[in-house]
Structure 1
Amino acid sequence: MIKIKTLTIAKSIFFLAGLLLGSFNIYAQQTIKGKVVDSQNRAALAGVHIQNLSDNSIVISNNSGEFELNSTGTYRFSSLGYEEKEVAINENGYQVVQLQLKAAELNEVIVSTNHLPKKLKKAVATINILSQKEIERGNNFNITPVLNRVPGIFMHNGALNTNRITIRGIGARNLFGTANIRAYFQDIPLTTGSGETTIEDFELTSIARFEVIKGAASSIYGAGLGGTIHLIPQNAYLNQTSVGSELSIGSFGLIKGIVNVNHGTTKNSFRAIYSNTHSDGYRDNNEYDRQTITLTSNHYLGEKDELAFVGSYVDLKAFIPSSLNEDTFRNNPTAAAFTWGQAQGFEDSQRGIFGLSWNHKYSQKLKQTTSVFTSFRDAYEPRPFNILAENTFALGIRSRLLGNTSLFNKPLNWTVGGELFRDWHESETFENLYLDFPIGTGSVEGDQLSDFREKRTYYNIFFETNYDLSEKTTLSVGLNLNKTSYDLDDRFTVTADNPDQSGTYDFDAILSPKFGISHLFTEDISVYSSVSHGFSPPTLGETLLPDGQINTDIQPETGWNFEIGTRGTLINKRLQYNLALYRLDVRNLLVARRAAEDQFIGINAGRTQHDGLELALEYLWVNKKALNLSSYLSYTLNDFVFKEFVDGDDDFSGNNLTGVPSDVFNAGIDFSTAFGLYGNINFQYVGSIPITDSNSLFSDSYSLTNIKVGYRLDLSEKLKLNAFFGLDNVFDEEYASQILINARGFGGNAPRFFYPGNPVNYYTGINANYTF
């Protein structure tokens, strides 16, 4: 009896052991799932080759970037346009692999500026990618040289805090900032409800890359006739913990410190970048102080859900030297404008933006992306004519569905979605009593002059689809519906000199279509063409008449953009090229007519025609481990004219568009060596700029040469150093870095058209990075 029980127990134990061993074996054979994404914009990467280094078997990621593996081990991930990466996969959970773009193969990189991620070479619009390589060509405190190397873009730079961006001539007529151009920080709008955009305050080293879409094709983002600039922040990297620090010094009292911290596990990552920048400035009343902190995090919750957070905070105090008349510009360029110097004018502002994005996959054919965001800005700005105090608070949501299906057995990708944005803006002005106090006192706040509350709202509803007519030909159709409204509450005491300016202005809904097609002649050469509509509404200030009433007759600027272009690689993939020809026809041209020193009235005065050519080339001369040598060239030809422009008794029809150079040429050489030495030299030529609508005055053309050299040293596998030295404006060229168009003199003074550029100046620094 005992023997029978013992035998039964033994059989039971062996049976249970067999079950356990079998279950372990089944578990060991369990499929490992994962996803490959762009490390910066988080776009899914299709067609990635995933090679098992132990048996050389290969798996390819699907259209959603997803893959399945049968075992753990070390795998090599490779894809055109991205750096190869070896990953040790030692667990069976959901895996996320991030690949970094390769600057030498940008046409293969996935861009998502048109909602539907696709390779750049198949895009139907002119899109430029500025990679980390382009960003690091120069200094790390001024964004202007980075953008000015992009054909079609010109950024005026009066000071670190005084800039104006134009794209294909759009935005040139705005006097004191950037308008008619949209910008996004990841998915968060940087453009206010009144259409004004500021990007120069962002820490340049916190930006991983820029994606710029030019022309009215960007109307899928709403009101941005000139184009859209996407700032892609330095992402948080998975499976990596590192700390970096950098210290720089330079001319005009420049000193800058940066701390960069990244921590990532297999599914969660976090990055924080802090910077502190000080400069005394080249000119009087030109001191600049800025602190920033940028935060990003990624959270891969599983196969279907992803969360990402991005935030940025900027604390800025910058004095304003303002523009100079021609005599002072020529003979005493370090001076501040007299009244600005006396008032010690400055801007003191704090700005923050925060956004949370959620990606959810319903199925292989349908997913959703939703972003909610908020932003604020508090500012205090004493000017000679008054003191401005303002604050803005904004909320918004942007959501879209992305799907893929087939039509006549051909792939069709589509997206439909919307964006709702509202901001609340409060502004007050006060007398500036600086003239009533001893020289050197600076601005002193006096009686209140105005008190406004604005509510600015817009929504966009958009649709876009890409249909593959064949493996080589893609048809793109898009549509955007925009509705914009302003609500103004004038809270100041109504008098004969201060009429009540309260009112509401609703623009008619605007429907903007886009049609485009691209064709791959070979795997390396593509041609594209598009026809698209765009628009830019006036700011609330431009809708006000001299008597304080809202001008209900003023209309948004509208335009049609026609372009044809080609991009690709030649000569054994050593030469990358991009070429675009376009015509942008703008109607209801908005003109800021100056009524007083600080008052501008908007009118629709005519029509402009923007014909242009944009060319970018990059050639890889040597690509060896010991030496990498490449050169680049870009050229912009601007033929922009007033087709119809009547302002009062003046007829400027046929004249050149004000505020845009005739042409811009960039060229440079980059090199890097195996033993750590690297550097570049770059040259820029900027043609003359019409300063007045009558074309009676032009700025002088100028040329700038900049150099940078550095040395990278790996002290160990974990600790890396990078020391660098740069020299800007090597030949000490005298030039106007920003033009104030159509300036008028007041009180018998000469008009102040010119902002002087910096003379020859240097910067140097050292960076240390430790990986745990």
Structure 2
Amino acid sequence: MKKKIRLSFVLIVIATQLHYSQNNTKTIENDSINNKAPLQKKTTQLNEVLVNANHLPVQLKKATSSTSLISTKAIERANSININEALNRVPGVFMQTGALNTNRITIRGVGSRNLFGTAKIRAYFKDIPLTNGSGETSLEDFELGAISSIEITKGATSSSYGAGLGGVIQLLPKSANFNTASIENETTIGSFGLFKNLSHFDYGNASNAVKIVFSTTKSDGFRDNNNYNRQAFTLHSTHQLNTKNELSILGAFSNLKAFIPSSLNETTFRNNPKAAAFTWGTAQGFEDTKRGLLGITLQHVFNKNLSQNTSIFTSFRNSYEPRPFNILDESVFGYGLRHRFIGNFNIYNRALTWTSGLEFFRDNYKHQTFENLYQDFPEGNGSVQGNALSNFKEKRQYYNLFLEARYDISTKTNIVLGLNYNQTRYDLQDRFPVSNDNADESGNFKFSGLVSPKIGVLHQLHSNSNLYANISHGFSPLSLEETLLPDGQINTDLDPETGWNFEVGLKGATLNNRLQYNMSIYRLAIKNLLVARRTAEDAFIGINAGKTNHDGLEIDWIYSILNSDNLQLSTFGSYSLNLYKFDEFIDGGTNFSGNDVTGVPSDILNLGIDVNSTVGFYGNLNFQYVGEMPITDSNSLFSESYSISNLKIGYQNTVLPHLRLNMFLGINNIFDTTYPSQILINARGFGGNAPRYFYPGNPINYFSGITLNYLF
């Protein structure tokens, strides 16, 4: 009943909805490399936003999939510390944040059963995969201030990116302009010892443009054992070799040391949320991680009808993580290639655009565990490494072959067809000495090739309104760890999760383009549901346990209240209704069929207001409501619904020739709400202790900063 009341309220107030995102570039096409010219951001231009969905650039309102674009302006509504606020305003997307280095992103409920990170969605930094060989993704290591926009395709609709079951997140880096040079520095301070310094260096001549971003971020954290220290470096350059060839280079490196307070039981969460989990605090658990990636892309234009993009990339991640139950020492080195053709021609005087290509990725993952002897030393000493417990080397690789085409059936109707073929393989080498207590767990796991088709149709109802529908298939690969049985053998009977996405949507504008909207209803039907069954504090096995139906409604909108030369005032918002159910789910003899899917809020509502003035003052106020969330598969325990409000105000203007000033102040969680910022589903207590389900969210906190930009 509550869901129906909330939905009716939203529909009455909104009546319709809009995609609030916007872009700040215009693509000018000719026979040579595409050129990008900066444009003034205006709400009235939202219908002309281009998205690169599935590598077939199209106006956002004409996309046949549910695609959201988070603009620079939307990112800057908050501070540049955490990406979660920007992502959580997108309907269908939910990012839980236990700490700056502890996050989980779900799209349409996919990935909610992953316990300690993000899985079953794909992510890219431009064309470089951020998802590793076992399907896990980490976005928090990258500098948010180096990102110009974020493109999100929801559901299994992106055949060009491997047909991921949940969807695709693509981070697009900021770029320098040709024939300009500038330097910018932003310093932010805030609650809990927050300090961040972010520097941009831009240089461009007639044929080269280079952008370098460097940042240092430090925080003591709200909780005990919560210190955070990260340095990040990002390079993005573009080089026009001639009229038909363009080379771009993208590099990123981060050095992070972050302590881990972990989750709390309900009593401690309510009475002492600042505390770290006892064992994690005593062991002074942390992660010390260095991560980098480098990609080089060559774009070649054959003629106005055919071009190609070729990217080669490599990445690494080295991490040392003392936990109370053991110490994990791991390293991964990956490399790959992404190549695609993009073409267009006419059939019966109607345009057909197409793209086809190959993506190959391989990484080598080495991981060892050691005893943590912190209990054998005086309190305050922290973790101490002991004897080795395991030593593995994994080789993980996949390749995708993809084809996608868009054809204009008529002046008002077009159709999109896509096909993806994936082949994934894991090889495991157990390098720990074989003994009576340790069996050799070496082996390999090769999936049968998976074919994922898609079809989408869009029809223009009138000049400002489009109706679309799509049917698509996707899958989520197993990780090698999920295939291991308790005796160390590989379970070759497991199947990857697969699903079909059925969706109908409406997008467009009304009221003289003042109200712009996007609404969709969908069903994502998943089978071979993979469940991580916990066998010990740090041990899990994977089982296929049934099916889920993810039925949902997504709405987002923006309404321009005032758009004069002196003042712009607009409201924005989004709503997600998540009716996700276990269709068939039997685990350990217990039947959970018909229950709500664990770890997903019942619904999420975002409301906000933006104001900008010619004299330089700006600000935004935003509100988020998160509904109750099942914590256990039995649905015997739910988290309580909560609401969070945030405010940011500022002033920006040119104060001296070539020098621009921006000052800002923000307040997060204005009403000091106590809420869980992340939930650990199906947690179990060990040694007679209560289960630790809750990561406490930050109480009311503040940030302020100043930015100086000098244009040479």
Query: CA distance change for structure 1 residues 428 and 510 in 2, over 3 Å: closer, same or farther?
Result: same
Contact 1:180–1:223 (CA under 8 A) maintained in structure 2:
no
Give the SS at the match of 1:442: coil
Aligned to 1:453: 393
Structure-to-structure mapping, 1:48-87, within 5 angstroms: 64-65=29-30
Structure-to-structure mapping, 1:621-770, within 5 angstroms: 621-770=561-710
Give the SS at the match of 1:342: helix
Higher mean C-alpha displacement, 408-417 vs 544-553: 408-417
Q: For the residues of structure 1 that align with 2:377 and 2:593, how far apart are their CA atoms? A: 48
The alpha carbon displacement at 1:219 in A equals: 3.9
Aligned to 2:270: 330
Give the SS at the match of 2:596: coil
Confirm whether residue 579 of structure 1 aligns to residue 561 of structure 2: no
Give the SS at the match of 2:165: coil
Letter in 1 for 2:610: D
Q: For the residues of structure 2 that align with 1:703 and 1:490, how far apart are their CA atoms? A: 48
Residue of structure 2 aligned with 1:253, choices 151, 173, 193? 193
Q: Tell me the alpha carbon deviations over residues 463-507 of structure 1, each in whole angstroms, 9 at most, x when there is no partner.
A: 001001112211100000000000000000112221111001000
> RMSD in angstroms over aligned alpha carbons?
1.4
Residue of structure 1 aligned with 2:332, choices 392, 406, 410? 392
Letter in 2 for 1:658: T
Q: For the residues of structure 2 that align with 1:101 and 1:585, how far apart are their CA atoms? A: 42
* Gapped regions of structure 2 (runs ≥ 5): 1-21
Letter in 2 for 1:45: T
Give the SS at the match of 1:765: strand
Aligned to 1:236: 176
Higher mean C-alpha displacement, 520-529 vs 119-128: 520-529
Higher mean C-alpha displacement, 549-558 vs 295-304: 295-304
The alpha carbon displacement at 1:101 in A equals: 7.2
Q: For the residues of structure 2 that align with 1:374 and 1:192, how far apart are their CA atoms? A: 12
Query: CA distance change for structure 1 residues 509 and 42 in 2, over 3 Å: closer, same or farther?
Result: farther
Q: For the residues of structure 2 that align with 1:484 and 1:201, how far apart are their CA atoms? A: 26
Aligned to 1:10: none
Letter in 1 for 2:237: S
Letter in 2 for 1:122: K
Aligned to 2:214: 274
Contact 1:43–1:112 (CA under 8 A) maintained in structure 2:
no
Letter in 1 for 2:455: F
Aligned to 1:146: 86
Structure-to-structure mapping, 1:274-313, within 5 angstroms: 274-313=214-253
Q: For the residues of structure 1 that align with 2:480 and 2:314, how far apart are their CA atoms? A: 21
Letter in 1 for 2:38: L
Query: CA distance change for structure 1 residues 173 and 96 in 2, over 3 Å: closer, same or farther?
Result: closer
Percent of residue pairs bearing the same amino acid type: 58
Scaled by the length of structure 1, the TM-score of the pair is: 0.88
The alpha carbon displacement at 1:714 in A equals: 1.1
The alpha carbon displacement at 1:185 in A equals: 0.1
Contact 1:219–1:225 (CA under 8 A) maintained in structure 2:
no
Structure-to-structure mapping, 1:113-128, within 5 angstroms: 113-128=53-68
Query: CA distance change for structure 1 residues 576 and 435 in 2, over 3 Å: closer, same or farther?
Result: same
* Gapped regions of structure 1 (runs ≥ 5): 1-39, 47-63, 68-93
The alpha carbon displacement at 1:713 in A equals: 2.6
Aligned to 2:472: 532
Contact 2:159–2:418 (CA under 8 A) maintained in structure 1:
no
The alpha carbon displacement at 1:675 in A equals: 1.1
Confirm whether residue 433 of structure 1 aligns to residue 373 of structure 2: yes
Contact 1:679–1:708 (CA under 8 A) maintained in structure 2:
yes
The alpha carbon displacement at 1:609 in A equals: 0.1
Query: CA distance change for structure 1 residues 100 and 374 in 2, over 3 Å: closer, same or farther?
Result: farther
Confirm whether residue 45 of structure 1 aligns to residue 27 of structure 2: yes
Q: For the residues of structure 2 that align with 1:134 and 1:355, how far apart are their CA atoms? A: 27
Give the SS at the match of 1:554: coil
Aligned to 1:368: 308
Q: For the residues of structure 2 that align with 1:167 and 1:107, how far apart are their CA atoms? A: 24
The alpha carbon displacement at 1:96 in A equals: 4.4
Aligned to 2:3: none
Aligned to 1:102: 41
Contact 1:737–1:757 (CA under 8 A) maintained in structure 2:
yes
Confirm whether residue 555 of structure 1 aligns to residue 537 of structure 2: no
Q: Tell me the alpha carbon deviations over residues 189-219 of structure 1, each in whole angstroms, 9 at most, x when there is no partner.
A: 0000000000012111111000000000024
Confirm whether residue 379 of structure 1 aligns to residue 361 of structure 2: no
Aligned to 2:461: 521
Q: For the residues of structure 2 that align with 1:483 and 1:44, how far apart are their CA atoms? A: 37
The alpha carbon displacement at 1:240 in A equals: 1.2
Aligned to 2:14: none
Contact 2:25–2:38 (CA under 8 A) maintained in structure 1:
no
Aligned to 1:75: none
Contact 2:24–2:38 (CA under 8 A) maintained in structure 1:
no
Letter in 2 for 1:311: G
Give the SS at the match of 2:46: helix
Aligned to 1:342: 282
Higher mean C-alpha displacement, 612-621 vs 407-416: 407-416
Q: Tell me the alpha carbon deviations over residues 309-333 of structure 1, each in whole angstroms, 9 at most, x when there is no partner.
A: 1111010000000000000001000
Contact 1:103–1:131 (CA under 8 A) maintained in structure 2:
no
Q: For the residues of structure 2 that align with 1:43 and 1:709, how far apart are their CA atoms? A: 25
Q: For the residues of structure 1 that align with 2:265 and 2:153, how far apart are their CA atoms? A: 36
Structure-to-structure mapping, 1:88-99, within 5 angstroms: 96-99=35-38
Q: For the residues of structure 2 that align with 1:110 and 1:498, how far apart are their CA atoms? A: 56
Query: CA distance change for structure 1 residues 620 and 319 in 2, over 3 Å: closer, same or farther?
Result: same
Query: CA distance change for structure 1 residues 65 and 702 in 2, over 3 Å: closer, same or farther?
Result: farther
Q: Tell me the alpha carbon deviations over residues 306-358 of structure 1, each in whole angstroms, 9 at most, x when there is no partner.
A: 11111110100000000000000010000000000000000000000110111
The alpha carbon displacement at 1:43 in A equals: 9.0
Give the SS at the match of 2:282: helix
Higher mean C-alpha displacement, 502-511 vs 359-368: 359-368
Structure-to-structure mapping, 1:3-22, within 5 angstroms: none
The alpha carbon displacement at 1:220 in A equals: 3.0
Contact 2:124–2:169 (CA under 8 A) maintained in structure 1:
yes
Give the SS at the match of 1:390: strand
Give the SS at the match of 1:45: strand
Contact 1:96–1:267 (CA under 8 A) maintained in structure 2:
no
Letter in 1 for 2:666: G
Higher mean C-alpha displacement, 386-395 vs 408-417: 408-417
Q: For the residues of structure 2 that align with 1:675 and 1:368, how far apart are their CA atoms? A: 45
Q: Tell me the alpha carbon deviations over residues 353-404 of structure 1, each in whole angstroms, 9 at most, x when there is no partner.
A: 1101111111221111111000000000000000000000001000011111
Report how many residues are paired.
690
Q: Tell me the alpha carbon deviations over residues 632-667 of structure 1, each in whole angstroms, 9 at most, x when there is no partner.
A: 111000000000000011100000000000000000
Give the SS at the match of 1:202: coil
Q: For the residues of structure 2 that align with 1:595 and 1:97, how far apart are their CA atoms? A: 54
Q: Tell me the alpha carbon deviations over residues 139-180 of structure 1, each in whole angstroms, 9 at most, x when there is no partner.
A: 110111110000000001100000000000000000000000
The alpha carbon displacement at 1:99 in A equals: 3.0
Contact 1:179–1:196 (CA under 8 A) maintained in structure 2:
yes
Letter in 2 for 1:98: A
Q: For the residues of structure 2 that align with 1:766 and 1:182, how far apart are their CA atoms? A: 35
Give the SS at the match of 1:423: strand
Aligned to 1:89: none
Give the SS at the match of 1:553: coil
Q: For the residues of structure 2 that align with 1:43 and 1:392, how far apart are their CA atoms? A: 36
Larger radius of gyration: 1
Aligned to 1:496: 436
Structure-to-structure mapping, 1:444-483, within 5 angstroms: 444-483=384-423
Scaled by the length of structure 2, the TM-score of the pair is: 0.95
Letter in 2 for 1:529: A
Confirm whether residue 421 of structure 1 aligns to residue 361 of structure 2: yes
Letter in 2 for 1:212: I
Confirm whether residue 354 of structure 1 aligns to residue 294 of structure 2: yes
Letter in 1 for 2:345: T
